Chains A and B, each alone.
Chain A
Amino acid sequence: AQSVTQLDSQVPVFEEAPVELRCNYSSSVSVYLFWYVQYPNQGLQLLLKYLSGSTLVESINGFEAEFNKSQTSFHLRKPSVHISDTAEYFCAVRVLSGSARQLTFGSGTQLTVLP
C-alpha cells in the first residue's frame, strides 16, 4: 500500500517570499507523483506531475517540484508567491503497475499568502 505525508498542515508566508511545501511518500513499488491545488468550494486542479525523466518538473504559474527517490520526497517550491496562490495543496501518488488506478492523497497543506 502507498501513503503520502504532508508534514505541514498550514504554511503562512508573506507575498513575494519563497515557499516550500513538503511531501514524502511511502511505496513498495514505483509511483507517479502529482501536486493538485484546491480553491475553496472547488474541485482539485492538477498543478504538476512527475512521470519519468528529469526529476525537476515545472508548472505554468511558477511552481516547481523535485522528485528525490532516495529521500522519497516530492517537495513543491515557488520562489515568489502571490496573494492568488492562497489555496490548499495536495500531494498524491499513483502506482505505475498492477490493478490499482486510484490516487492516494496526503492530508493537504493550506498555503496562506499574507500582504
Chain B
Amino acid sequence: DTGVSQNPRHKITKRGQNVTFRCDPISEHNRLYWYRQTLGQGPEFLTYFQNEAQLEKSRLLSDRFSAERPKGSFSTLEIQRTEQGDSAMYLCASSLGRTDQPQHFGDGTRLSIL
C-alpha cells in the first residue's frame, strides 16, 4: 500500500491561467474522489468516479472545472480560467467499492492564485 499520491504539492499561478492536478489512487481502489478544502473549513465534495465513470458532481464544480479518469486508474482535475476564489487545497481520496470502506486521502495540492 503506497498510499494516494497527488502532484504537484503546490501550484502558484496567475489569475486566468489553466491548471491541472494529478491523483494516483491506491492501486486496487476502484473509487476515486476529489474534494476542495479552504482555510479553516472541512473538505467539500467535488466529484466521484467509480472506475472510469464519473458518477456524481457537486454544484461546486462549475463549468470551468473538469475531471477525468481515463483508464480507471489515475485521475486529473483541470481548472480553466482560474479565479482568486479557486485558491484552496485540492484533496484526492480513494476507496474500495463497498460503502463501508473508508476513504484514504492524499496530501493534497495547494493552489494559490496571484
Contact = CB atoms under 8 A, between A and B. Distances in A.
Contacts of A4: 42
B18 to A, nearest CB: 24
- Contact count band on B: 20 to 34
Contacts of A99: 55-56
B44 interface: yes
A79 to B, nearest CB: 25
A92 B33 CA distance: 15
Contacts of B43: 44, 90, 103, 105
Contacts of A34: 102
Given A32-B100, A96-B99, A101-B50, 6 more contacts: A41-B110, A51-B100, A102-B48, A102-B58, A105-B44, A108-B40
18 contacts: A41-B107, A43-B4, A44-B43, A44-B105, A45-B105, A46-B104, A96-B99, A101-B48, A101-B99, A102-B35, A102-B45, A102-B56, A103-B103, A105-B42, A105-B44, A107-B40, A108-B40, A108-B42
Interface of B: 4, 6, 31, 33, 35, 40-45, 48, 50, 55-56, 58, 91, 93, 99-100, 102-108, 110
